[in-house]
Each structure stands twice: as C-alpha cells, then as structure tokens.
Amino acid sequence: MELPFQLPEVHMTPAQLNFAAGVAVGVALLLWGRRLYWLFFATIGFLVASLFTKWALPIENVEWWWRLVPLAVGIVGAFLSIFLQKIVIRLGGLLTGAYLGFFLSEPFLQDPWPWVSLAGGSVVGFFIIFYLFNGALVLLSSLLGAMVLLEPMDAKPEIRLAVVGALMLVGCAYQSRNKAKDKKKKNR
C-alpha cells in the first residue's frame, strides 16, 4: 500500500537523537509530570541506573551495555509504577531525592560529599513523597524535567542551578494550574 504523501527522511546522529529524546522527556515531565507519573518513574529509574552503571560497573568499553541496563530499569519502573503504585511511588521518591541531591551538589562538593548528599536527598525525597504525594509529584517531576532539559547544557553550576529553579517554578505553576482546572471540571 502506497501512502498518498511522501514522508520526509530524517537522519539523526545518536547524539542528536539523545538530545531530542531528552528535550521531549524533559518538557513532558516539566508540564505534565503529575499526570504522566509512569514517565516520571521511568525517567528516574533510567537516570539512577545510568549513574550507577557509569560509576560503579567497569563496563565503559561496552557502550551498548551501559545504555541497555538503564533503559531496561526505566521500562520496568514505568510498568511497576502502574501496577504496584504505593510501593513504587515511595521508592521513586527515594530515588528522585537521591538523584536530585547528587545532581545539585556534585558541582559544588568534593568527594565523598556528593555521596552524602545523595543519601540525604534520598531520605528527604522518600518522606516528601510519602506525606505529600500530589504536591511532591508536581514538585519532583518539575524539578526532574528541568534537570533533564539542562543535562546537555555546559554552563557554570550557579547558572545551571538558577535555570533549573526557574524552570521548576514554571513547571510547578503550570501543573498546579491544570490541577485546579481538573478539580473544577470534576465538581461540575
């Protein structure tokens, strides 16, 4: 069967494809992270597994391996978040806090302090998502979306932190506004 129109050919390098996927996931998390909670958990699973495989496993010379493991963890995280919501939500809060603590403090601190901030962030993330689920999901998904968007950015840590904060505020405002609209529609 022939199409009535011609599809354009797109040739992207792996780096361009990674960048495009990062932008798409970052924007989706920033603006719709509360609704797409499964994407939030898939992303945090992917990022934490990437961090672990790059730094803890001696598999650097096998490039496909350190991309396959995080992808598998992300897919499993997405499915588990749908079927085992309460357990995975708490685990997701723990992992998100750990990743955010590490990401935000690594440029400023010397070893072993980024790992201490990883541990502290995991505890904070767990308790925030445990007690304040919807608000925490909005906050953490906005923050994670902003960080995914800025991952390829090469700038001073202070500038990155300021841009992450500004994007996080935009994401929180947008998601909160949509949450209020959803409540109004539900009450009608």
What does each C-alpha distance from 163 to 93, 140, 150 come to in angstroms? 23, 16, 8
pLDDT exceeds 70 at position 187 = no
Q: Mean pLDDT, to the nearest integer, of 54-67? A: 67
Q: Are 103 and 147 in contact (CB under 8 A)?
A: yes
What tens digit of pLDDT does each residue of 105-151 get?
777 777 767 678 878 888 888 888 878 878 888 988 999 999 899 88
**Which tens digit of pLDDT belongs to each residue from 65-94?**
667 888 899 999 888 888 888 787 788 888
Is the CB of residue 136 less than 8 Å from the CB of residue 128? yes
The whole-number pLDDT of residue 161 equals 87
pTM score, whole prediction: 0.73
What is residue 184's predicted lDDT score, i.e. its pLDDT? Answer: 66
Q: pLDDT at position 172, please?
A: 94
Query: Which range has highest mean pLDDT (58-62, 87-91, 174-178)?
Result: 174-178
Give the H/E segment covering residue 48. Answer: helix 37-56
